[in-house]
Amino acid sequence: MSRFAANLGFLYAHKPFEARFAAAAEDGFKGVEYASPYEWPAHVLAQHLQEAGLQQVLINTPAGGADAAGVRQAWAQGLRGTACLVGQEKAFRYGVELALEYAQALACPRIHVMAGVATAADAGDRRTWLHRLAWAAEKAASNSQHPVTLLLEAINHVDMPGYWLHTQAQAFAALQEIGHPHLAMQMDFYHCQMTEGDALAQWQRYAPSRLVQHIQIAGAPGRHEPDVGQLPWQELLVALDEAAYPGWVGLEYHPQTTTTAGLGWLKQLHL
């Protein structure tokens, strides 16, 4: 299962977080991703990765907060990133710098930069978003020991109402406008299917640009295993092969029963 990564925020959810690394390795995964490493010291997570023989393939910037306590509370407070929120300059910069520190400690090459949810108090601003992404990309590029690629992910409004970045077209236009080699696209086929209705067509539209550098997958609707629902998951995996997609596919779904029992769709691929 060389290119499939277990999302430890979603999979093995019945186990304590620390135990999910070994569980993923036992199921044959070589890579893991999770949105928020910030509840644990980076060296503790690095130890879990090393003991389980896993690579960290993706983390997110914090959901919000301009200091350590703020970062820990942000998700529960309903924050989902700060990049487009005008009033959140300090939190945005703090979050990017913290994410870069964690990425280096975990040898993680990709960071998803969360855009934020528009509110009545802060509606979000495209120019602010683009300007901050350009600043963050320069930061990500400037660490010669561990350069990182920053990713933009469109998230659907059923799961995350008001999320600023919700279409592939928005992400693609921003990337073209900024044109920075350390900025790329994270295409989550579940969100794609929920918002645009045709994940395969979206993949075919954006694949030639080579800007899609991380993929996530779940069945739609429902966000269970890819073979539950209408997602054309087999055609999508064939299309990734045809395009020689070199990256990871993160399994970001809520298993219907247990994670291991629900891996039949993957095992049948004989990887």
Ligand X SMILES: O=C(O)C(=O)[C@@H](O)CO
Give the tokens for residue 15.
């186990």
**Min CB(185)–ligand X separation in Å:** 13
Active site residue 101: no
**Min CB(139)–ligand X separation in Å:** 20
Helices then strands, counting H and E runs in the chain, come out as 10, 8
Note whether 216 binds Mg ion by CB under 5 A.
yes
Which of 26, 138, 153, 242 is flagged as catalytic?
153
Rg (C-alpha) for the chain, rounded Å, is: 17
167 vs 9: CA distance, rounded Å: 23
For residues 56 and 60, which CB has a smaller minimum distance to ligand X in the complex? 60
For residues 47 and 160, which CB has a smaller minimum distance to ligand X in the complex? 160
Active site residue 252: yes
Note whether 188 binds Mg ion by CB under 5 A.
yes
**Min CB(216)–ligand X separation in Å:** 6
Give the one entry of ligand X, Mg ion, none that residue 112 binds, where binding means its C-beta sits below a cut-off of 5 to 8 angstroms depending on kind: ligand X
For residues 47 and 196, which CB has a smaller minimum distance to ligand X in the complex? 196
Give the one entry of Mg ion, ligand X, none that residue 225 binds, where binding means its C-beta sits below a cut-off of 5 to 8 angstroms depending on kind: none
Q: List interacting residues with ligand X (CB under 6 A).
A: 35, 60, 112, 153, 155, 188, 191, 216, 252
Cis peptide before 221 (omega within 30 of 0): yes
For residues 188 and 225, which CB has a smaller minimum distance to ligand X in the complex? 188
22 vs 46: CA distance, rounded Å: 13
Contact criterion met (CB below 8 Å) for 56 and 106: yes
What is the phi-psi region of residue 229: left when phi exceeds 0, alpha when psi lies from -120 to 50, beta otherwise?
A: left
255 vs 225: CA distance, rounded Å: 6
For tokens 């529960």, the residue is 76
Catalytically active residues are 153, 252
Chain contacts with Mg ion (rule: CB under 5 A): 188, 216, 252
